[in-house]
Amino acid sequence: MIIYGYLCKDKIQEFIAWDSSKIIVRDIAEGEKIFPKESIDNIIISNNHLTIKSGAAGGVILDLSGYEAADIQKLEDQLGSGSLSLS
């Protein structure tokens, strides 16, 4: 796996990593979740939250507060603009 992006906060207790095939997220409440691009229906970045929708009841909502503004912008530029092709 080649990691295109990796953002972390709180001394690696929470992170978001992605490459061209998947997104991996880890937070204290949800633990680690891996979303292959085929299973992702939508990605929404708004109001300091990252929402990954996957299937009828799957997905995750992550709080982005605590991440640097530049890191959130990088996340939005690479994932929000379709750099991870969801088709």
Are 32 and 24 in contact, with CB atoms under 8 Å apart? yes
Residues of the domain holding 50: 5-80
Query: 35: domain CATH number?
Result: 2.30.29
Kindly state whether residue 87 falls inside one of the protein's structural domains. Answer: no
Q: What is the pLDDT of residue 84?
A: 54
Distance of alpha carbon 70 from alpha carbon 50, whole angstroms: 15
Encode pLDDT of 42-77 as tens digits. Answer: 999 887 899 999 988 889 998 888 888 888 888 888
What single-letter DSSP state applies at residue 20?
S
Q: What is the pLDDT of residue 11?
A: 59
Kindly state whether residue 20 falls inside one of the protein's structural domains. Answer: yes
Longest Cα pair distance anywhere in the chain, in angstroms? 34
Are 19 and 83 in contact, with CB atoms under 8 Å apart? no
Mean pLDDT of the chain: 80
Supply the pTM of this predicted model.
Answer: 0.77
pLDDT, greater one: 13 or 69: 69
Q: What is the pLDDT of residue 66?
A: 80
Kindly state whether residue 60 falls inside one of the protein's structural domains. Answer: yes
- How confident is residue 87, by pLDDT bands cut at 50, 70 and 90? very low
The count of structural domains within the chain is 1
